[in-house]
Amino acid sequence: MEFNFIPNLLHSTQTATATLPTREQIEEKYKWNLKDIYESDDKWDKDFEWTNKNLIRFSDFKGKLSSSPSVLYACLMLDEEIGIKLEKLSLYAMLAKDSDMRVSRYHAMDDRIKNLYARALSESSFIKPEILSIEENQLRKWIEENQELKIFEHYFDDILREKPHTLDSDKESILALSSEIAQVPYNTYSIFTNADMKFPFIKDEFGSDIQMSHGRYYAAMYSKDRAYRERAFKAYLTPYKEYVNSLNSLFTGNLKANIFYAKVRKYNSAREAALSKNNIPVSVYDNLVETVNQNFAPMYRWAKLKKELLGVEKLHPYDIYVTLFDQKYERKYNYDEAVELVLNALEIMGDDYHNSLRKAFNERWIDVYETVGKRSGAYSSGTTYGVHPYVMLNWTDLLNDVFTLAHEMGHNMHSYYTGLTQPFHYANYSIFLAEVASTFNESLLLDYLIKNSNSKEEKLHLLERYLNNITSTFYRQVMFAEFEQTVYEKTEKGEALTPEELCNLYSSLFQKYWGPSMFVDDEESFTWSRVPHFFYNFYVFQYATGMAASETLAHKVKTEGKPAIDSYITFLKAGSSDYPINVLRKAGVDMNSPEPVLSVTKKMNSILDELENLL
């Protein structure tokens, strides 16, 4: 049994207004329609009770899977039936909770489904060990002779691959029961930083008093008022600094939980365990970090140019995102305008893809605006079998929001096509593939905007946007990946990670990635404590590999046309029917090679050349 959720919090922004609107003040068309999942909370409760009562049916199959192919198939069908219910229940509870994190009812529902899911994992934990107990030749024979089992062939291959790391059924049951406890650090972190943490009030760029928030911080980082940026930067990180000991405890608790599971399953490291789930070689991770460490020159070049164009003595972290050019050419984009831009940019993908996008926009799959109590950031819900995917935004009318929309709709279409095409047990895809679809859309959007720019100044802004995208989606994520690798390795060696050590490590990496033009403020060293992705267990490196792959695929679409488009749509439909490395290889990208990584660093240099020629 698998649980599918693809969180993504990149590119979150928010307007700096005195007070946030309530959910009731937002037009219905800008709020996701949860009735597509359940008509009411009561319907959710009924499905919950059905699932709760039917978990006992797993006991009918325990100890019997090796008896016949029909028994094995019947058990897999029950696992699928339960899994579909759990995914719908979880999706509804998560989206309802994230809509307003002050509502205790939906926190309770979210807790209930997590408890139920833990029970389901425990009740079904015998399945993989019993499949592994079947003699492999016998299992292969059953697959060949029974058409019903044939569709599970890759599923069985994946189980057999993990045989050295799979325990007996009793131990698997214990580990499944412990999964709820392992989620405590992240769940506590999420509630604390989104609902309980209080930010200070500051003067905005117009002299008005505003309370800092997650979204307002991001919006402030684009302000041309440097003093305001500095105030916002320091105010935003103040509570993280004040509560660093508690945040450190949650952070290290999450590390230790993942290390525990890796050791119990006899992996060499938590990193190997995390990557093994999708059969990603550790060498892919190492290749990414090492190749980037040998190619900091474009980043240093960009930092030096930023410093010169801003005319500052020292470049600070709060100078990273502000435009270098005249803001009168920096447009605001309301959501409806952005929808049309994304549709126009992706028209190159053909009618089928384009019509699917329109369906998502027209049928309320997206929650657009920040409201009181709403979760910060942006994400796509991933594939939930039998239900369309959802997208959460926090819209602020910035160009960055337009790219966030394109990014999340890349995830959304990936989930949509996979859910339409694959059976339940393949109707998900790894994060390794997910970030290809999202950055692919961003690349096509940027190309469209540059081609349709009306002036030199507008083109400069867009080229700058491209460079900032590479900075945040590629280099920054590799920096996060190197930080994550280091803290796990230190913990696995038995070293205690104090807040001071984490701050020093993060600060030194930030300096290394930005180079001599950057001055690292003390506040920046606490940024490790505000990155929720560090709780996702070796997640962030896939943003960078995804961008490297998407640059290759976007180039193919632009130069080869329909054959490349068809190949890309096939990629979106593949789900987990093959290992992600193979899915990408079939689409024309080999992530075992440094070439896709180098393609991004070379692209950054070429964009810098183009920008400097315009200056």
Catalytic residue among 123, 172, 408, 523: 408
Ramachandran bin of 520, using left for φ above 0, alpha for ψ from -120 to 50, beta for the remaining angles:
beta
Adjacent-strand bridge partners of 209: 203
What sign results for the dihedral spanned by CA atoms 501, 502, 506, 512? positive
**Whole-angstrom distance, CA of residue 411 vs CA of residue 436:** 9
What is the total residue count of the chain? 615
DSSP strand pairing (391-392 vs 366-367): parallel
In which element (H, E) is residue 301 found?
Answer: helix 297-310
| Helix%, strand%, coil% for the chain, nearest 5 | 70, 5, 30
Around Cβ 560, how many Cβ atoms within 10 Å? Answer: 13
Annotation marks residue 180 as catalytic: no
Amino acid occupying residue 580:
P
Contact status, residue 363 vs residue 572, Cβ threshold 8 Å: no
Burial of 49 (0-12, 13-18, 19+ CB in 10 A): exposed
In which element (H, E) is residue 203 found?
Answer: strand 201-203
DSSP strand pairing (201-203 vs 391-392): unpaired
Tokens (6 digits) for 84? 């579909």
Best CA proximity match to 544, nearest among 478, 596, 483, 601: 478
Amino acid occupying residue 144:
E
Give residues with Cβ within 8 angstroms of 561, minimum separation 6. Answer: none
Contact status, residue 217 vs residue 232, Cβ threshold 8 Å: yes
Eight-class DSSP state of 474 = I
Burial of 24 (0-12, 13-18, 19+ CB in 10 A): exposed
Q: Which residues are catalytic?
A: 408
